Amino acid sequence: MSLSRNQVLGEMGLSPQWILRETRAVARGEKRAKSSILPAPMHKAEQFLAGVAEKMPASGAERSAPIAQLGWDGLRQRIAGCRDCALCGERKQAVAGVGDENADWLFVGEGPGAEEDARGEPFVGPAGKLLDAMLAAIDLTRGEDVYIANAVKCRPPSNRTPEAAEMAACAPYLKRQIALLQPRLIVLLGRAAVHALLGEDGSLASLRGKPLAYRDGERDIPVVVTYHPAYLLRTLPDKAKSWEDLCRARALMRSLKP
């Protein structure tokens, strides 16, 4: 990332009043054993996924178990060939995710858009440029200690919001990515990502700043919710709120103990 700090903050519409003082090393903290615990209820996500699973054909619900056994290569292949929901019909390619497979940070968006569908990488269009600026503002770089994925791996037609059943069909992939990655912190970008992973259907405004967590096996992974970059491109005043969320995420990451 060659942008200067001021350019990054300018990109986020925050310049000049927000200035980070800490260094990159402090911002990212020491690499710690990945066993941090944050108490948070997960019952809504479980209810959501169980409810949707009931409505899926038996073969749909049963497909989660083999996906949960896959390694990164197998998972990428499974996603690339997936035909488990209608979204496969119009995609150029499935977009699994990108980044450091040992990353502490996981950012989750909604689903690929046109450019992502064409290039096979998440967040490479205009929203992706803003996401890169958001990462840079907290001293992170795509691909370095950061993994980026989406709630759904195939582009919804006309970039519509993915439907609940589509997100549920794709949920085993995101869950497996999380299990393999073991991130310390998950940042959910926008309401669809929150709904897909936590089953929370409230407004983003009502969820921002709340202590949330995603349950992965025996472990609760802290979750920070913020606005989707595409929304921020349309709603400039909320960039300041997103900046607050990123600072909260950064502070949370630093506070996590081994």
Q: Decide if residue 123 touches ligand URA (CB under 6 A).
A: yes
Q: Decide if residue 226 touches ligand URA (CB under 6 A).
A: no
Q: Decide if residue 122 touches ligand URA (CB under 6 A).
A: yes
Whether the CA torsion 119, 24, 189, 12 is positive or negative: it is negative
Q: Amino acid identity of 67?
A: I
Nearer to ligand URA, 94 or 256 (CB): 94
Instruction: Work out which of 11, 84, 104, 110 binds ligand URA, going by CB under 6 A.
Output: 110
Q: Decide if residue 112 touches ligand URA (CB under 6 A).
A: yes
Angle between helices 164-181 and 191-198 (to 10 degrees): 70
**Alpha-helical regions (H) of the chain:** 5-11, 24-28, 43-55, 58-62, 64-67, 72-80, 114-119, 126-137, 164-181, 191-198, 204-207, 229-234, 239-255
Q: Which stretch binds ligand URA (CB under 6 A): 37-45, 58-66, 112-120, 203-211?
A: 112-120
229-233 long-range Cβ contacts below 8 angstroms, 24+ apart: 229/109, 229/123, 229/127, 229/128, 229/130, 229/131, 229/134, 229/189, 230/113, 230/126, 230/127, 230/190, 231/190, 232/130, 233/126, 233/127, 233/130
Q: How far apart are CA 87 and CA 95, in angstroms?
A: 12
Structure tokens, 195: 């709904």
Instruction: Work out which of 79, 230, 232, 246 binds ligand URA, going by CB under 6 A.
Output: 230
Q: Decide if residue 132 touches ligand URA (CB under 6 A).
A: no
Q: Which stretch binds ligand URA (CB under 6 A): 8-16, 49-57, 104-112, 138-146?
A: 104-112
Instruction: Work out which of 11, 84, 104, 116 binds ligand URA, going by CB under 6 A.
Output: 116
Q: Which stretch binds ligand URA (CB under 6 A): 26-34, 111-119, 133-141, 217-225?
A: 111-119
Tell which positions 141-180 bind ligand URA, by CB under 6 A. Answer: 150
Q: Decide if residue 9 touches ligand URA (CB under 6 A).
A: no
Smallest separation, CB 122 to ligand URA (Å): 4
Nearer to ligand URA, 20 or 249 (CB): 249
Binding site for ligand URA (CB under 6 A): 109-113, 116, 122-123, 125, 127-128, 150, 230
